[in-house]
Amino acid sequence: MKCEDRSRILNAIATGQSWLGELTGGRVASIEAIAMREDCSERSVQRALSLAFLSPRIIEAIIHGTLRRGIGIASLASLPACFAKQHAGLGI
């Protein structure tokens, strides 16, 4: 995994985790409110939020650069919430 790709994915995960914290902490009312504030689509916010639910093992693989090539934000965002299914889907 290229360093630039790794950084972009990790930044997207951190953004998703931050936005999730804002939503669950009541600091922001909705996905729509985040999208308006960030001047992006609701779909972009939803994609980032889904990254907040990645398995710690997957995040570790991204950090260490051991996640196989060709896996990007879109494929990570489409993984199911279940960690076992995430691992199976990525062959981890």
The model's pLDDT over 54-77, given as tens digits with 9 standing for 90+, comes to 999 999 999 998 998 889 999 999
Domain span at residue 34 reads 3-90
Taking CA atoms, 68 is separated from 33, 45, 64, in Å, by 35, 25, 11
Please say if the pLDDT value at position 2 is more than 80. Answer: no
**Total number of domains constituting the chain:** 1
Give the range among 30-34, 43-47, 80-84, 88-92 with minimum mean pLDDT. 88-92
Summarize the chain as % helix, strand, coil (round to 5): 65, 0, 35
